[in-house]
Amino acid sequence: GTTATGGATGGGYPDKNITFVVPFSAGGPTDTVTRMIAEPMAAKLGGKIVVQNVEGAGGTVGAGEVARADPDGYTVLMHHIGMSTAPALYQNLDYKPLEDFQMVGLVTEVPMTVVARKDFAPKTLQELVAHVKANADKVTLANAGIGAASHLCGLLFQTAAGVKVQEVPYEGTGPALTDLVGGQVDFMCDQTTNTSGQISAGEVKAYAVTTPERVKSLPDLPTTTEAGLPQLQVSVWHGLYVPKATPPDVVQKLTEALKVALADQKVIDQMAKLGTAPVPAESATPEAHRAKLQEQIGTWGKVIADAGVKAS
Ligand code: MLT
């Protein structure tokens, strides 16, 4: 039986639950953004959306599963910048981003924050760089696995600082942040959609935000440029994907529902509170999404090759 709710749409789709796959743990930034838009998208589609976390290998396990799912519109992937770094990091990646997926549209571009456990000695980004240089073999850096946004930001930090530290991979930065608050790991680079609450609560130390401008919801946090590390600039763009052969009219319904969700005042307010915003309507299209992914694969391919980093 169907669990359709909300307004009817043309054609039969959807006539059963739609699964949104999040390739990282529940409670992390990717999961948070997905759950924000799932509700208004379900209302517009007139169906139910179920979020499923499929963790592992920096998001590549979940992405691979969606690449091979039935192309019927009932399996959708939420993924981010990691879609553009994986090809350079994994020799035998079991999917080709530009060939195995149909893009639905971009969602949001999220700033990252450099944060540490609250009793970590360095007080500023410059002191953090100095501390890491002097104690490289003892400092631990959390991330969500090779290919995660937190991994890429950590890579950029280590390249800028000219040092290699011990990386501690998690299935998502939700659990990583829990360990950071608990003092089990030293520092991390993670999205404002995950760290804002703990920064405001003083549960972690925050050094900088990785965007050219400060984040309105974290007004006291300097940018990496202000803090003397201008090379550390990255923001985490997110998009929705379906398997390549998904029928165009189904893709169109998903894109329309995405646009409605990104114009939803509740979504706009939730994103603003967490340091981000929906992309403009013209970016919530398959064409804009494909162009972004194509450009980002080139950009990060070079950075990763220069840094000489490869996954197992
Ligand atoms: C990442 O670091 O790539 C993700 O933001 C991790 C997550 O969403 O849990």
In ligand 1, which atom is closest to the CA atom of 29? Answer: 8
Q: Which of 34, 194, 195 to mutate to test the pocket of ligand 1 (most atoms within 8 A of CB)?
A: 194
pLDDT at 8: 42
Q: What is the pLDDT of residues 114-124, one digit of tens each?
A: 999 999 999 99
In ligand 1, which atom is closest to the CA atom of 59? Answer: 3
Q: What is the pLDDT of residues 186-196, one digit of tens each?
A: 999 999 999 99
pLDDT at 59: 98
Q: What is the pLDDT of residues 282-303, one digit of tens each?
A: 999 999 999 999 999 999 999 9
From residue 88, alpha-carbon distances to 84, 93, 183, 215 in Å are 8, 9, 32, 30
Residues 6+ positions from 142 with CB-CB distance below 8 Å: 150, 167, 168, 169, 170, 173, 176, 179, 180, 185, 187, 188
Q: What is the pLDDT of residues 4-22, one digit of tens each?
A: 444 444 469 999 999 999 9
Ligand 1 centroid to Cα of residue 248, in Å, is: 29
Ligand 1 centroid to Cα of residue 144, in Å, is: 6
- The rounded distance, in Å, linking the Cα atoms of 105 and 252 is 10
- ipTM beyond 0.90? yes
CB-based pocket (< 6 A), ligand 1: 24-25, 28-30, 82, 144, 148-150, 172-174, 191
Strands 75-80 and 18-22: parallel
Whether the model clears a pTM of 0.90, i.e. scores above it, the answer is yes
pLDDT over 80 (residue 312)? no
